[in-house]
Structure 1
């Protein structure tokens, strides 16, 4: 069970890392900070609740069940972070938000103090790593401590559910999907963790034994709730970034034919460890290097070849823009061939500006690369056909 809890906590923390990913010069959003604080405290609560952690804490302190107030205090701190996150979501004047946050922290701070005091007053001399809630459900002071942490956690999660339902009606796209995932995770916490804990504790009060709900059902449901909530927190921030990286990777691959044509002429310095950089950085370096190579090939540009190729493409019925890009591809390929053969450049350099250098994004270079690939294919097919024809 500890391994499953640790895995859920690790995924929880990974979602926090995704949320904190931002440019170094970008301002830190208070809402993002509050969200990450909630994620970190939630993951710490999971780690503290693991039996392996409880045993280690009890052994280090020499106090049986010392891990119980530590875990309950961490869960209460997580509940407090959810309340603060709700205040941030609701918004309003900074003074009002700050005042509500201080009130929430004061309330849950008092709850944590009460948990510690009640544990100190109670008799918990027998170490219980998995069933402390039900084992001490009828023990004075320990009983009140268990009920207090459950009530504090229930108040925060039920408020979170209400806000998610309300806000999901007003937003669209990934944000709505993320809110729905947070709602599902919170409901799993309410039903799978809190309700089972309440049921098992009340069963002990009435002389029955439903401990399996607290020991066998509640922990995995809490882990599943944490995983679902972490997906809801990270999805609106992480998925657009992944899509952007995928687009950059496709553009990087699309530039392959053009890069193989001009790379020998590029003098741009190669960045260290380019293979391990994100596609965005590799694409930026590839663009700079291609532009440098095209600049080096400019003295070899044959305007007459370009014009003949363009006129031929227009005569075939191709659109004007497509004809222009095809003509530029032919001119670049011819310039690269003659530069590689160390032929003399033209005495009067061409002043023509490629379409790929007129646009600010990568689409112009990608179009030029595709035109080069098509021209290579068009010349390769007839050659292979001729070679295959018997004499």
Structure 2
């Protein structure tokens, strides 16, 4: 069981690190900070609830079953973080949010104190690492401690589920998907942990033995539920930037032909090789560098090259819009061919010559991508070799 619980803790810890990848920004945003707290405390809860951890805690403290009130207190803190997250999600005035947050901390703080006090009053000298809830279900004070922590966590789970269901009807996209995953996780937590634990404890009260619900069923189900909730938390926050970086990576690679064509004319400083950049930042640098190169090549754009290439492209059956892009790409390739030539040897454009209307009209990355794709045309290859103007006669 420890392996399953530790795996859940590891995945939860990874989720919290991903959410907290920018500490300053996360701390300035109460919603992000609350989300990070929920996932991080969940990871700690799973770590402490593993039998190996419980045994180590008991041995280090010298108090039999001390891991139980520690774990139950962490579960209560986890429930409190859920409630605070709900408060931040619902929004409102800062004063109201602060008041409700402090009230939640006070209620669950009192619950944690009650758990510790009840444990100190109870007679629990037999170490139980997996079945403590059912083994001590009829023991004075231990019985009340177990009921309290299950009640506190159960109320939190139900309230969170209701809020997520209501909110899910008002949103779309990744946030709606994330809320669905959270609801699935909450259902697993409610059925596989709360109901299973309570059923096993009540069965002990009535003289029956359903301990397997608490010891065998609950741990893997609650681990799965926690993972579903964590994915639900992470998905709305990480999916949009992930999609952006994925698209940026594809566009960065698609711009490679254009960069190879004009990159030698760019004067933009290159980023340090030792500095690792995300795909979106790399795409932005490439766009800026290409625009810089286009400005450097603009004096060499020739109208005669453009006109001949346009005629060729149209004669080959390209639609007018596509033919214009090919013609501009041919003009660009011809200008890039002369970029390194001395000023008195390289042909210059006539006053008021052609511009790259594809870039001007589409703007951003789209125009550059169209040019990069057009560079594969045979018409552009001819211009690159200098044969386009000669074919005009």
TM over 0.5: yes
- Work out the CA distance in 2 between the residues paired with 1:108 and 1:23: 26
Residue pair 1:299, 1:345 contacting (<8 A) in 2 also? no
Matched position secondary structure for 1:373: coil
1:88-111: CA deviations, max 9, x gaps?
222333222222222211111110
Q: 2:16 maps to what in 1?
A: 16
Alignment of 1:267 onto 2:270: no
| Contact map agreement 2:258 2:375 (CA 8 A) in 1 | yes
Q: Which residue number corresponds to residue 346 of structure 2?
A: 345
Structure-2 separation of matches of 1:35 and 1:318: 53
- 8 Å Cα contact 1:115-1:148 kept in structure 2: yes
Counterpart selection for 2:375 from 360, 372, 375: 372
Asked whether 1:362 is paired with 2:365, we answer yes
C-alpha distance after superposition, 1:44-73 (max 9, x if no partner): 111111112212211221111111111000
After superposition, the Cα gap between the structure-2 partners of 1:21 and 1:354, relative to the gap in structure 1 and judged at 3 Å, is farther
Q: Which moved more, 1:283-292 or 1:227-236?
A: 283-292
Aligned counterparts of 2:42 and 2:27: Cα–Cα separation in 1: 25
CA–CA separation in structure 1 for the residues paired with 2:273 and 2:124: 57
Taking the aligned partners of 2:9 and 2:377, their CA distance within structure 1 comes to: 51
Rounded to whole Å, the distance in 2 between the matches of 1:215 and 1:59 is 22
Specify the alignment match of 1:193 in structure 2.
Answer: 193
**Aligned equivalent of 2:385:** none
User: TM-score if structure 2 supplies the norm length?
Assistant: 0.88
For the residues of structure 2 that align with 1:348 and 1:300, how far apart are their CA atoms?
5
Q: Which residue of 2 aligns with 1:304?
A: 304
User: What is the Cα-based RMSD across aligned positions, in Å?
Assistant: 2.6
Structure-2 change in CA distance of 1:209 and 1:128 (3 Å): same
1:388 aligned residue: none
Change (3 A) 1:378 1:308: closer
- What are the residue-to-residue correspondences of 1:1-391 with 2, within 5 Å? 1-21=1-21, 28-273=28-273, 276-314=276-314, 318-339=318-339, 344-346=345-347, 352-355=354-357, 357-358=359-360, 360-375=363-378
In 1, distance between residues paired with 2:380 and 2:122? 82
Measured after TM superposition, the shift of residue 40 of structure 1 is: 1.5
Describe the superposition over 1:116-135 as per-residue Cα deviations: whole angstroms up to 9, x where unpaired: 00111111222221111111
C-alpha distance in 1 between matches for 2:274 and 2:132 = 53
1:266/1:26 Cα in 2 relative to 1: closer, same or farther (>3 Å)?
farther
Give unmatched runs, 5+ long, in structure 2.
383-393
Count of matched residue positions in the alignment of Structure 1 and Structure 2: 380
Match of residue 385 from structure 1: none
1:315-355 Cα distance to aligned partner (Å, 9 max, x none): 66644442332111101111222335768223567654323
